[in-house]
């Protein structure tokens, strides 16, 4: 057994306060811990030992005048004796450590609740000498206060994917938040996703990560349209149902095929699945989720103006591409078609607002301007400066995005995993045999009959 004196000496580096080891078990835990864990334990003991003083200094207390009902009210300037002073109420708390710092459970009292703790978060961070303090509601009358000693957002988050037999197609495990907690977004019933951000800050890696998660499932088929025209998606092409680069005509034709699939599915869904919404059953090998990725989307949607013949033809092509993409987002949800638009700046000239504003999920990496941030995340982002994409321009935040995560208030900062190109290529090699043509799947299920429904605009 380690002598308590040894632990006391080890705490000499801690702030000069009276830190008490409450049991021999605490001594043993400290002695067996590594350096980061010991730092967290010292900080936890410090927070407990100084909580009353801290609460008084940062205003997290309430005076209970009702506790002295019937006592004489003193005249101005008259000193109140201890017997007639009001009771000072301070929220009770419990402190524990985790991988990144402290998790503090707080019971609210009176007028001291979520708003007051959030307003005092910066003061608490300064007093406790931690990187950041965040406060969330945990339940009725309960708050969770997190105090960070390490920042998960700036720590590398690499992922080496391995094909698995079971893939969750209803949710998207997108990364981890500022407190190291896993963050997922809904995939079921989603027809549109917008991903925006400065070049080199993580958009392509996010798509690689999503691909690596889904590629092992035969219940998913991919369409890649790469507006950059470079080699970014070459390693994924073998697993894709349809693939093209920055050829505007080829992109339009691919979207027309997906559009045909959407109408065919709408006409056959009741006959083949017995439901109106395929998400009631979930994707399957015979009715796969079709993920359409349009990278550098502005390449295909940008409005082209001019009077010459070539410019007019390009304008007509952009308008047709826009119509097809818009209808896929508006109508593709219940038949299992999902479009992911990726661009640097999601303003209306890059992705038309009638497309962008119908997408249920929006993700933003670093942005230089408020305009660009609001374009992708909406005007509410201005009320959450800590999660604003403008603060993510530091290279330390490459791979960190801001988004709305279901079940979480406001906006959440998420570090998305990095997937190396060679790992994405390996996944393609291992799963290329799963590629299928969803249109042929419907034809085979209908016994070779003519597709039930077609695009009226194409007839």
Number of C-beta neighbours around residue 377 at 10 A:
25
Angle, vertex CA 85, rays to CA 81 and CA 89, nearest 5? 150
End-to-end Cα spacing for the chain: 84
pLDDT mean across residues, the chain: 86
**By CB neighbour count within 10 A (0-12 exposed, 13-18 middle, 19+ buried), where does 5 fall?**
exposed
- Measured CA to CA, the distance from residue 265 to residue 107 in angstroms comes to 53
Sign of the Cα pseudo-torsion (353, 357, 358, 362, in order) = positive
What confidence score (pLDDT) does residue 454 get? 55
Higher pLDDT: 168 or 286? It is: 286
Is pLDDT at 328 greater than 90 in this prediction? yes
What confidence score (pLDDT) does residue 406 get? 80
CB distance 105 to 94 below 8 Å? yes
Cα within 13 Å of Cα(134), Cβ side: 22
- Measured CA to CA, the distance from residue 454 to residue 438 in angstroms comes to 15
Number of C-beta neighbours around residue 287 at 10 A:
22
Tens-digit pLDDT profile for residues 214-241 = 999 999 999 999 999 989 899 999 999 9
Most confident of 20-29, 123-132, 402-411: 123-132
Q: State the CATH class of domain 157-458.
A: alpha beta
Q: Where are the domains of the chain?
A: 4-67+84-150, 157-458
- Mean pLDDT across 189-200: 94
Is pLDDT at 111 greater than 80 in this prediction? yes
pLDDT band at 5, cuts 50/70/90?
very low
- Measured CA to CA, the distance from residue 23 to residue 426 in angstroms comes to 52
What confidence score (pLDDT) does residue 447 get? 79
pLDDT band at 252, cuts 50/70/90?
very high
Is pLDDT at 24 greater than 70 in this prediction? no
- Mean pLDDT across 194-202: 94
What confidence score (pLDDT) does residue 448 get? 58
What confidence score (pLDDT) does residue 8 get? 42
Higher pLDDT: 406 or 38? It is: 38
Is pLDDT at 41 greater than 50 in this prediction? yes
What confidence score (pLDDT) does residue 19 get? 45
């Amino acid at each position: 057994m380690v002598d308590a004196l040894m632990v006391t000496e080890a705490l000499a580096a801690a702030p000069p306060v009276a830190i008490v080891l409450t049991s021999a078990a605490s001594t043993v835990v400290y002695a067996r811990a590594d350096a980061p864990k010991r730092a967290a334990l010292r900080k936890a003991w410090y927070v407990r030992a100084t909580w009353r003083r801290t609460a008084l200094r940062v205003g997290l207390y309430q005076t209970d005048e009702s506790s002295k009902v019937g006592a004489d009210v003193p005249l101005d300037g008259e000193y109140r004796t201890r017997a007639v002073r009001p009771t000072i109420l301070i929220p009770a708390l419990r402190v524990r450590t985790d991988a990144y710092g402290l998790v503090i459970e707080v019971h609210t009292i009176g007028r001291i609740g979520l708003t007051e703790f959030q307003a005092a978060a910066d003061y608490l961070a300064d007093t406790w000498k931690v990187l950041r303090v965040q406060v969330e509601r945990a339940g009725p009358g309960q708050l969770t206060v997190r105090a960070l000693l390490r920042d998960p957002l700036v720590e590398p988050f690499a992922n080496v994917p391995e094909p698995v037999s079971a893939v969750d197609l209803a949710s998207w495990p997108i990364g981890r938040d500022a407190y190291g907690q896993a963050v997922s977004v809904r995939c079921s019933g989603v027809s549109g996703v917008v991903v925006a951000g400065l070049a080199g800050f993580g958009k392509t890696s996010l798509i690689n990560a999503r691909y690596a998660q889904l590629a092992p499932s035969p219940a998913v088929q991919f369409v890649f349209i790469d507006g950059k025209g470079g080699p970014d998606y070459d390693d994924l092409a073998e697993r894709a149902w349809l693939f093209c680069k920055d050829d505007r005509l080829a992109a339009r034709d691919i979207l027309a095929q997906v559009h045909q699939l959407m109408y065919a599915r709408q006409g056959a869904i009741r006959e083949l699945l017995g439901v109106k919404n395929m998400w009631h059953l979930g994707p399957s090998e015979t009715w796969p989720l079709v993920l359409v990725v349009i990278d550098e989307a502005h390449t295909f949607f940008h409005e082209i103006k001019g009077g010459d013949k070539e410019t007019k033809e390009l304008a007509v092509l952009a308008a047709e591409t826009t119509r097809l993409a818009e209808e896929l987002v508006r109508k593709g949800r219940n038949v299992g078609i999902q479009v992911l638009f990726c661009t640097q700046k999601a303003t209306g000239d890059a992705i038309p607002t009638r497309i962008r504003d119908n997408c249920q999920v929006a993700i933003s990496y670093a942005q230089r301007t408020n305009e660009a941030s609001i374009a992708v995340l909406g005007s509410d982002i201005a009320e959450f400066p800590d999660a604003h994409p403008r603060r993510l321009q530091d290279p330390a935040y490459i791979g960190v995005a801001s988004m709305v995560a279901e079940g979480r208030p406001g906006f959440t900062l998420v570090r998305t995993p990095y997937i190396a190109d060679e790992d994405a290529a390996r996944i393609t090699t291992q799963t290329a045999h799963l590629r299928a043509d969803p249109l042929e799947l419907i034809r085979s299920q209908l016994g070779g009959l003519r597709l039930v429904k077609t695009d009226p605009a194409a007839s």
